Structure 1
Amino acid sequence: RLEEFLRIIKVAAGLGVKKIRLTGGEPLVRKGVVDFISKIKEIPGIEDIALTTNGALLADMAGALKKAGLNRINISLDTLVEEKFTQITRVGSLATVMKGIEKALAVGFEPVKLNVVVIAGFNFDEVLNFVALTKDKPLHVRFIELMPIGETDEWDKKKYISAGEILDIVKQEYQVVNSTGIKGAGPAKYMSIPGHLGSIGFITAMSNHFCNQCNRMRLTSEGKLRPCLHGDQELDLKALLRSNCSDQQLAKVIVKAIKEKPLQHRLKEKELSPREKMMFQIGG
């Protein structure tokens, strides 16, 4: 229940948590999400609220989200080709998502980021098309390395493209320079292109992990707190809340989760154990 999430956020804010990101699945299909954001905004200590969306409902909701107090938006978009888009989403249209991106910019969201998981044989040939989006619009395109999230049967190493390979393609067409002026709270390393309003970034979970800089935890839709996105350890906060725990007891469990964050993920181990949950269940 949303009120349970609000209580968890309030307790976490009391422990020093300042930034909240809503992910999915698709958070914009959740009834009451706009009001939920406005209530998060009222919690003392919360300074930044971000949201990751597939963009399908963004054109209609961007204004209300901005008014509610949402600070930043990420749109997950892996292709700019309509046929490929239909293949992977099966619903909606690419045009609707692009309209949502335009609307997010129009109502004043800054930054607006595109999350692009680069996959060999699917969208590697679109890298330069995504980079071109940053020329005339203040969009920040983040290229993300494919990771084995979900059932390991779905992880095909032949589809993996490293950030270095992506950057090589970009450098064939553009001059790129390291950038430190891009606002963000995550692991992406950003680069700018002279003459472009936006930027490009890289998230290198596989080729160069950033675990020593990780300051995040995941709260799943089932109310379970995960110290590491790529681990299977979970602490059941929903069960704790429904046992009529005090805020002090809840805070103690959250602190326990923080202390139990692993030094690094296990994605590159030779034999990955099958993951019990898919990404939409974890949030991302």
Structure 2
Amino acid sequence: LRRITLSIDTLDAIAYRRLSGDRGEVGEVFAAIDAATRAGFSSLKLNSVIMRGVNDAHVLDMVDHFRGSGHVLRFIEYMDVGTCNEWRQDLVVTSAELRERIAARWPLRALPANYGGEVAQRWAFADDGGEIGFISSVSEPFCGDCSRARLSADGRLYTCLFSNDGHDLLGPLRAGASDAELSALIAAVWSSRDDRYSEIRGSTDTSQRRHVEMYEIGG
């Protein structure tokens, strides 16, 4: 294990409880951050999904709290993943808007990507207060450069968060497929993928499309 990513959408206890469907407390996240830090993970990735009128007023407080901590706060545009979150375009706060808000208080400078296909755009505080990231799959789709896949608990490979179905790996595995055969199967699936949902969002091709639920693929 080389990296840990946690989710924290607000520092406010009441708002956090509401966003978690009354199933979590923000204090538990802080305890997890402290435990991970003590275990030697000095730089965590902290993902935060921002929704207009829900937690966007908390953004500057979050930045202020984690600046200089060594952890990397990453703001994620609110996405229509799955079918349970009642997504609406007007609730999306774009990365560009968030950067403008943050930079008005703490000037930022762009950083290069760590590797090809990195989903987060990296920025640094001009005063050396650390790094911050933005994941902009709604306003700035990166389908062509995406290198992410997910494996569900029932052994299906999903090549996109917005997939409506996965590719069976459990069947071949239980039938005795070798590591080489599984690798070839995964390579064939990946090389033939044509996922570009974020690029065509809102078109007639996507209006009736079923999305896999995030809880099915470890989201």
> Normalising by structure 2, what TM-score?
0.88
Partner of residue 135, structure 1: 67
Q: One-letter code of the match for 1:102?
A: D
Q: One-letter code of the match for 2:216?
A: Q
Partner of residue 85, structure 1: 16
CA distance in 2, matches of 1:128, 1:99: 21
Asked if the contact 1:220/1:283 (under 8 Å) is kept, the reply is yes
User: Is 1:204 matched with 2:136?
Assistant: yes
User: Is 1:278 matched with 2:213?
Assistant: yes
CA distance in 1, matches of 2:165, 2:66: 38
> Structure 1 vs Structure 2: percent identity of aligned residues?
29
Partner of residue 148, structure 2: 216
Q: 1:181 to 1:243 in 2, by over 3 A?
A: closer
Asked if the contact 1:134/1:197 (under 8 Å) is kept, the reply is no
User: Is 1:269 matched with 2:202?
Assistant: yes
> Normalising by structure 1, what TM-score?
0.69
What is the Cα deviation at residue 261 of structure 1?
A: 2.1
Q: One-letter code of the match for 1:277?
A: V
Deviations 1:146-179 (A, max 9, x none): 1111117712122111111111111221111112
Asked if the contact 1:151/1:274 (under 8 Å) is kept, the reply is no
- Tell me the secondary structure at the aligned position of residue 66 of structure 2: coil
Partner of residue 116, structure 1: 48
Asked if the contact 2:162/2:212 (under 8 Å) is kept, the reply is no
CA distance in 2, matches of 1:270, 1:200: 32
Residue number among 169, 172, 177 corresponding to 1:245 in the alignment:
177
- Tell me the secondary structure at the aligned position of residue 5 of structure 2: strand
Q: 1:138 to 1:243 in 2, by over 3 A?
A: same
Q: 1:183 to 1:79 in 2, by over 3 A?
A: farther
What is the Cα deviation at residue 181 of structure 1?
A: 7.8
Q: Which one has the bigger helix percentage?
A: 1
Partner of residue 192, structure 1: 124
Structure 1: gaps of 5 or more residues? 1-69
Q: One-letter code of the match for 1:228?
A: C
CA distance in 1, matches of 2:215, 2:78: 15
Structure 2: gaps of 5 or more residues? none
CA distance in 1, matches of 2:168, 2:112: 38
Q: 1:102 to 1:181 in 2, by over 3 A?
A: farther
Map of 1:1-284 to 2, 5 A cutoff?
70-89=1-20, 90-151=22-83, 154-180=86-112, 186-262=118-194, 264-266=196-198, 268-271=201-204, 272=206, 273-284=208-219
CA distance in 1, matches of 2:62, 2:117: 22
Number of aligned residues? 215
